[in-house]
């Protein structure tokens, strides 16, 4: 059985926090300024959580996101060399498969993780991982107030930046855009799989048309999160994943070829498909959260470093592993500087 100490022995760049999460030793990152382009907190996704569980836990000192998250789920599932740093079952018709489904449907792990994901904790964790700024991404529920609440609760944190989010069914899109821009948002977030609306749905394309007019960056969840080797998935889960299949963004980009679109997770299990899409559309970028060092290195080779952004998808992933992936994938300080912060500064006009 894998243990945390075995992981530390395999990756000497890492150490453990007092509460059991992994972090990168300062000696490996102190020369870099790091901007985490992809993070969340309870406030940013509140309406996605059942009402009885929307209250944050005030005592988060002893909780470990590594232990709570469905990525890796259980420590024996951890594999740094795989997308999302975890192994998957071969089928749902097994004990491992059923446990994994429970995690993916948020029946275990996700809710207590989010309850501990306060803005206060995010601010603490970023400092421990040598991160200078975090971009908090709201995911607007159809009747939620994630963007407004996030703006209000982060105003005393100069190191926390925030995007806005607008649901595709919103009737007053332009009004909300104007309101959020006046409050200082740095860009917009869309989430097809959370909304369960296809990325090429006319409502999403309509929303993106409005967002494109702002010239601000738009970050979208992208790619299939589960490998094809995991068989017998429920149809509802397959449908949800397919909302953000890379192929669904082709009609979007044909209609809006110059949109400042950022593909979160670099396409997940469809990294190769995203690379080909990025070759065709020079305006799009990718954050490399959850990607393996091998895939990031491949992106550097085929695309260069000027379109790649560091991200973690915190708190679902410890920030240490995405940092380590970039360190292992890159060959020079210049490459690391661009991925860790240089490209983010340019895109965010910092």
The CB-side HSE value for 218 (13 A sphere, CA atoms) comes to 28
Residue with tokens 């994630």: 146
Q: Mean pLDDT over residues 201-206, rounded? A: 98
- Mind listing the pLDDT tens digit for each residue in 234-250? 998 899 999 999 999 99
With contact defined as beta carbons under 8 Å apart, do 301 and 278 qualify? no
> pLDDT confidence of 13, banded at 50, 70, 90?
very high
pLDDT at 1 over 80: no
pLDDT at 49 over 70: yes
pLDDT at 56 over 90: no
Q: Which two tokens stand for residue 105?
A: 């449907």
pLDDT at 107 over 60: no
Residue with tokens 């926090």: 17
d(CA 149, CA 144): 10
Q: Mean pLDDT over residues 149-155, rounded? A: 93
Q: Which residue has the higher pLDDT, 58 or 176?
A: 176
pLDDT score of 48: 81
Q: Which two tokens stand for residue 217?
A: 């960056």
d(CA 270, CA 247): 10
> pLDDT confidence of 53, banded at 50, 70, 90?
confident
Within 8 A by CB and 6+ apart from 206, the residues are 168, 173
With contact defined as beta carbons under 8 Å apart, do 252 and 205 qualify? yes
Q: Which residue has the higher pLDDT, 108 or 219?
A: 219
Domains of the chain: 21-55+119-348 (3.20.20.140)
- Mean pLDDT in the chain? 94
* SS3 (DSSP) at 44: helix
pLDDT at 59 over 70: no
């Amino acid at each position: 059985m894998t243990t945390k100490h075995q992981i530390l022995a395999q990756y000497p760049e890492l150490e453990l926090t007092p509460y059991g999460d992994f972090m990168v030793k300062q000696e490996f990152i102190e020369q870099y300024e790091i901007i985490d382009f992809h993070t969340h907190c309870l406030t940013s996704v509140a309406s996605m959580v059942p009402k009885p569980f929307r209250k944050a836990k005030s005592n988060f000192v002893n909780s470990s996101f590594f232990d709570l998250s469905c990525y890796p789920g259980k420590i024996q599932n951890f594999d740094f060399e795989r997308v999302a740093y975890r192994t998957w079952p071969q089928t749902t018709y097994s004990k491992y498969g059923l446990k994994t489904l429970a995690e993916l449907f948020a029946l275990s792990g996700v809710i207590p993780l989010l309850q501990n994901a306060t803005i206060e904790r995010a601010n603490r964790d970023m400092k421990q991982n040598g991160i200078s700024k975090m971009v908090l991404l709201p995911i607007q529920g159809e009747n939620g107030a994630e963007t407004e609440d996030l703006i209000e609760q982060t105003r005393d944190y100069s190191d926390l930046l925030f995007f806005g989010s607008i649901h595709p069914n919103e009737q007053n899109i332009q009004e909300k855009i104007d309101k959020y821009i006046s409050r200082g948002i740095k860009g917009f977030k869309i989430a097809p799989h959370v909304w369960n609306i296809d990325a090429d749905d006319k409502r999403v394309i309509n929303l993106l048309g409005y967002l494109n007019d702002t010239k601000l960056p738009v970050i979208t969840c992208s790619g299939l999160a589960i490998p094809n080797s995991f068989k017998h998935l429920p149809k509802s889960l397959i449908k949800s994943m397919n909302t953000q299949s890379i192929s669904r963004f082709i009609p979007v980009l044909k209609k809006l070829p110059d949109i400042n679109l950022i593909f979160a997770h670099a396409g997940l299990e469809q990294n190769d498909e995203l690379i080909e899409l990025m070759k065709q559309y020079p305006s799009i970028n990718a954050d490399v959260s959850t990607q393996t060092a091998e895939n990031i290195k491949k992106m550097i080779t085929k695309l260069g470093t000027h379109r790649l952004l560091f991200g973690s998808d915190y708190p679902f992933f410890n920030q240490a592993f995405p940092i380590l992936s970039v360190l292992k994938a890159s060959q020079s300080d210049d490459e690391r500087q661009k991925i860790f912060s240089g490209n983010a500064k340019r895109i965010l006009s910092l």
